[in-house]
Amino acid sequence: MNVADSEVVASILSPYYSITDSLRDADLILLNTCSVRDNAEQRIRKRLRELASLKKKNKSLLIGLLGCMAERIKEQLLEEEKTLDFIAGPDAYRSLPQLIEKASLGMVSYNVYLSEEETYDDIDPVRYDSNGVSAFISIMRGCNNFCSYCVVPYTRGRERSRDPKTIIEEAQSLFDKGFREVTLLGQNVNSYCWKATENNIDFADLTEKIAQISPLLRVRYATSHPKDISDKLLFVMAKYPNVCHYIHLPVQSGSNAMLQKMNRVYTREYYLERIKKIKEILPDCAISTDVIAGFCGETEQDHRDTLSLMREVGYEYAFMFKYSVREGTKAAEKLEDDVPEELKIKRLEEIIALQQHLSLESNKRDIGKTFSVLVEGVSKRSDRHLFGRNPQNKVCVFPKKHYKTGDYVEVKIAKCTAGTLLGEVTSDK
């Protein structure tokens, strides 16, 4: 999400600045921040301290803070972090040229106004750190779900969908430039809905339209909320081979008591029914999740319920976190953060160990299978190997030969680790 936002910012500032790889050469440094978990904010504070020395060397250097953290603790930040010259919240990027100008005149400036309409739909993002193959397209902003632990609805504002016309144009233009994969992004991407006078366009409709651009353009999306994973969407995924069979479907907890306290608006049984449906309509679909360990009042049994649900689903991958209180959320106000830190860590470790096992088992099941892989670049471990992803979003590594970034190749899997599939190309397309 933040990568996509940074690309929008780069576009807004392109008439005034060009991008440099070297911090020492920079006249302007922007830190795009996330407030979802406490450690992300701590990292930014550390980074700001590191940047202070650059300011001593270059008196005209300006440093600005963007994103969620800007929204959450603006005044406090400007007071505490003297390195900062200006602050812009996630809906204020169009005002950056003015904020920067004020800051350059020595005035402390910030804009954290949250809009109900801003989608930056007319801005063509600058893909400055791209492999030229995969790109993100932001299709909606904000979130209306108010999960009790989560700060996003407060820092990124209300949910709003972007005009499908501009999304399709952006995807088409990326394809024309040689990109072969787009990931449609939103906090709750499958609740996308563009209200039109005749027919509304929902997320399944939008996915279908993007899939029709070309069979050579892969379509992915993130993140889905379980409440919105419709059969209609699953049928679109089944109909178009270029819509990747991979769904990130955060469950957060396997316990109904926790799900209720989290305000996730579904039960364990509902979630498992959706998983069953996904596997019925898309038998080869990979599923990943987010899990929170040690939420308020979580008992040993609640934790066991999470582990058993993870086993039952057999996730391919998971992002796993221990609960951290976020100021301003319902949980911070109404629920007690009563699971001791050591227990949170212990539970998180158990969750991670289980997922490691599930990922390895899933990868082992792929040995002998052949997948279509979109080549993304040279493998980090060996320059004689390339890597890319299969539709299930698994990283596949194979000998380089004459293949290059952006090619589609058929890879037969011979070996695996918990994180990677290794194989040989059997044919190119």
**By the criterion CB under 6 A, which residues form the site for ligand SAH?**
36-37, 149-150, 152, 187-188, 223, 225, 250, 252, 290, 292, 321, 323-324, 326
- The least distance separating ligand SF4 from the CB of residue 318, rounded to whole angstroms, comes to 15
- The least distance separating ligand SF4 from the CB of residue 114, rounded to whole angstroms, comes to 14
Cα–Cα distance measured from residue 298 to residue 302, given in angstroms and rounded to the nearest whole number: 6
- Output 147 or 309, the one with its CB closest to ligand SF4: 147
DSSP 209: H
**Quick count: other Cβ atoms within 10 Å of Cβ 158?**
13
β strands within 235-308, DSSP E: 246-248, 286-293
- The least distance separating ligand SAH from the CB of residue 27, rounded to whole angstroms, comes to 33
Concatenating the DSSP letter of every residue in 159-175 gives -EEPPHHHHHHHHHHHH
179 binds, among ligand SAH, ligand SF4, none (CB under 5 to 8 A by kind): none
- The least distance separating ligand SAH from the CB of residue 323, rounded to whole angstroms, comes to 5
411 binds, among ligand SAH, ligand SF4, none (CB under 5 to 8 A by kind): none
- Output 292 or 425, the one with its CB closest to ligand SF4: 292
Cα–Cα distance measured from residue 329 to residue 307, given in angstroms and rounded to the nearest whole number: 26
- Output 122 or 342, the one with its CB closest to ligand SAH: 342
8 Å CB contact between 243 and 204:
no
β strands within 223-284, DSSP E: 246-248
346 binds, among ligand SAH, ligand SF4, none (CB under 5 to 8 A by kind): none
Q: Rounded to the nearest 10 degrees, how much is the dihedral formed by the CA atoms of 101, 107, 108, 112? A: -50
146 binds, among ligand SF4, ligand SAH, none (CB under 5 to 8 A by kind): ligand SF4
Crossing angle of helices 231-239 and 203-211, in 10° steps, is 10
- The least distance separating ligand SF4 from the CB of residue 330, rounded to whole angstroms, comes to 10
- Output 271 or 398, the one with its CB closest to ligand SF4: 271
- The least distance separating ligand SF4 from the CB of residue 72, rounded to whole angstroms, comes to 14
| Closest residue to ligand SAH in the complex (CB) | 290
211 binds, among ligand SAH, ligand SF4, none (CB under 5 to 8 A by kind): none
- Output 175 or 266, the one with its CB closest to ligand SAH: 266
Enumerate residues 6+ apart whose C-beta is below 8 A from 376.
131, 133, 134, 386, 387, 388, 389, 405
- Output 70 or 331, the one with its CB closest to ligand SAH: 331
| Dihedral angle sign, alpha carbons of residues 190, 191, 194, 197 | positive
Applying CB under 6 A, which residues contact ligand SF4?
Answer: 143, 145-147, 150, 152-153, 187-188, 225
Q: Pull the structure tokens for residue 207.
A: 């996915």
- The least distance separating ligand SF4 from the CB of residue 138, rounded to whole angstroms, comes to 14
Our measurement of the distance from residue 263's CA atom to the centroid of its chain's CA atoms, rounded to an integer in Å, reads 21
Strand 317-322 to strand 395-399: parallel, antiparallel, or no bridges (unpaired)?
unpaired
- The least distance separating ligand SF4 from the CB of residue 152, rounded to whole angstroms, comes to 4
Q: Pull the structure tokens for residue 220.
A: 């992915």
Concatenating the DSSP letter of every residue in 303-340 gives HHHHHHHHHHHT-SEEEEEE----TTSHHHHHS---S-
- Output 146 or 403, the one with its CB closest to ligand SAH: 146
Q: Which residues of 218-244 are buried (b: 16+ CB within 10 A; e: fewer)?
A: bbbbbbbbbbbbbeebbebbeebebbb
Enumerate residues 6+ apart whose C-beta is below 8 A from 79.
none
153 binds, among ligand SF4, ligand SAH, none (CB under 5 to 8 A by kind): ligand SF4
- The least distance separating ligand SAH from the CB of residue 222, rounded to whole angstroms, comes to 8
- Output 253 or 379, the one with its CB closest to ligand SAH: 253
324 binds, among ligand SF4, ligand SAH, none (CB under 5 to 8 A by kind): ligand SAH
Tally of CA atoms within 13 A in the half-sphere of 350 that contains its CB: 17
- Output 160 or 218, the one with its CB closest to ligand SF4: 160
292 binds, among ligand SF4, ligand SAH, none (CB under 5 to 8 A by kind): ligand SAH
Q: Pull the structure tokens for residue 323.
A: 């609960």
- The least distance separating ligand SAH from the CB of residue 251, rounded to whole angstroms, comes to 9
- Output 180 or 264, the one with its CB closest to ligand SAH: 264
